[in-house]
Structure 1
């Protein structure tokens, strides 16, 4: 098989590990910068040109699309899909996952536990929005934020209103989310491949930090999920239509609460925390499902 990794940086840990796993399984791997792809649409059918050459004979792709280039990146993934190339993560699922508000709406419709969240067309005259999520302290999140950026913990109602007004002044869209105090600045990431939890880690924020992101200096350790946590993670990934996902959740008094379902989860933290060959499991998933798709097309 010829498998293309859509990545802008060949030196990233996840990109290098995926390429290594592809080659270890006896396949040919290539790295394609999706921002340098040209999409051609005409009566002869969809095609993609890369560095002046028409891409041919690619059996599968692994999208590693950054949040800042979601629109163009998913357009490239969609073009591959139109060309009958198997994608480890669908373009539609990526688009859903990148819209935080839409993601939460989908999860809510599926009856999945999550911190109570509110989104409003804020105005200074409205004083009851905070009460919808249980009053202060409250977590305020930018809808476009990633890796813990654009996430603020407001300790009081006054502080919350100041932060919201500041974001509003910048024309930035925010959501208000219930603060789960008992989580203690920690969360769980469950890594899912093809309907199975293949690894899980507990991430702990550094002292004085309520965000647990490893990019913010947090630490990670392997964890065995409780049945309810495993069920919640699998249900969340399924609701989002993601076959490969990193599901982030909080441990609370009322059970696991889903924070986010990531469509391009990094491999470094989970592989180092668990010692599991996650990249290899992703290639095994592609082997099985790409073959199924080819047989279906041939039939």
Structure 2
């Protein structure tokens, strides 16, 4: 299999592990900076260059596109799709996952459990918007924030209104959600590959914080999710359209609730906590779509028989 990984930095842990796993399994792999890919689009066909050279055909492409370059990165990924490359995470699915509001709408439409969420634009409606949600505490999230950045907890109605007014003054897009107290500052990251959860970890927020992200000082421990939690995580990834996803859940009194579906989940934390070769599972899943290449050695063996 000839594989491309779209990543701005080949030295990042996740990118490096995918390269190592692909080579260990005998595949050809190259890391491409999506911002150095540029495209030719015509009704006769699609082409792409990279640093002055034509990009050849790739069997598969793994997108590791950061949130700051979502628009351009997804356009590059779509160009690969139009040129015939397979990707476990199609460009349209990446765009859905990156837009928290759209992702929540898509998941809710399929009956997947979520924290109660409200969204509005006009300042005159703030009071009624919060009434639709219910009493505080409230969790306010930037629509395209990552790794816990842009997530705030407000404990009084006046605080919620003040934060909402400030964000509107910055022309920011945001959601407001219920705070699920029984989760006790913990969530589950289920790493979905294809139709199974290959690894999972329980993340706990540090003292004095409610965000469990490892980038915010949270701790992690490998766990085995319940059958229901695995089912919800797999279904959430499939509804969004992702073959590889990090699905974040919280345990509530009404069952597992999906917080987020991540289209470019990091590997470092989950591999360390679970001690599972997640990168290897990703490569195996992608390679299973392609028949083994016929080498000279396998051809000679076939002729003898």
- What residue is the counterpart of 1:20 in the other structure? 20
* Alignment of 1:242 onto 2:242: yes
Structure 1 residue 128: Cα displacement: 2.2
State the secondary structure of the residue aligned to 2:228: helix
Once the two structures are TM-superposed, the CA of residue 83 in structure 1 deviates from its matched residue by 0.7
Structure 2: how far apart are the matches of 1:175 and 1:227?
Answer: 30
| Partner SS, residue 247 of structure 1 | strand
Counterpart CA distance in 1 for 2:177 and 2:125 is: 20
Q: What's the secondary structure of 2:39's corresponding residue?
A: strand
Partner secondary structure for residue 233 of structure 2? helix
Aligned length: 292
1:220-248 Cα offsets, whole Å, 9 max, x none, are: 10111112211111111111011100000
Provide the rounded CA distance (Å) in 1 between the counterparts of 2:92 and 2:126. Answer: 35
Q: TM-score, normalised by structure 1?
A: 0.95
**Does 1:168 find its partner at 2:168?**
yes
Match of 1:183 in 2: 183
Which residue number in structure 2 is paired with residue 255 of structure 1?
A: 255
Q: In the alignment, what sits opposite 1:278?
A: 278
Residues in 2 aligned to 1:291 and 1:45: alpha-carbon distance in whole angstroms: 26
CA displacement, residues 230-277 of structure 1 (integer Å, 9 cap, x when unaligned): 111111111101110000011111110100100100000110000100
1:33 aligns with 2:39: no
Distance 2:176 2:58 in 1: 43
1:60·1:290 contact (CA, 8 Å) conserved in 2?
A: no
* Deviation readout 1:84-120 (Å, 9 max, x if unpaired): 1111211111011111100000010000111000001
- The CA distance in 1 between the partners of 2:57 and 2:110, in whole Å, is 39
Deviations 1:7-57 (CA, angstroms, capped at 9, x unpaired)? 001110000000000100011111100110011123541111001110113
- Relative to structure 1, the CA distance from residue 166 to residue 27 in structure 2 (aligned partners, 3 Å threshold; closer, same or farther) is same
Query: Which is further off, 123-132 or 112-121?
Result: 123-132
Residues 196 and 230, structure 2, Cα contact 8 Å, conserved in 1: no
Corresponding residue SS for 1:273:
helix
Cross-structure match for 1:220: 220
| 1:295 aligned partner | none
TM-score for both structures, normalised by structure 2: 0.93
CA–CA distance in structure 1, aligned partners of residues 245 and 80 of structure 2: 20
**What pairs up with 1:76-225 in 2 under 5 angstroms?**
76-124=76-124, 126-225=126-225
Cα RMSD, aligned residues only: 1.3
Q: 1:49 to 1:109 in 2, by over 3 A?
A: same
Post-superposition offset of 1:125: 5.8
Matching of residue 287 in structure 1 with residue 287 in structure 2: yes
Counterparts of 1:153 and 1:102, CA distance in 2:
22
SS at match of 2:206: coil
Identify unmatched segments of 5+ residues in structure 2.
293-305
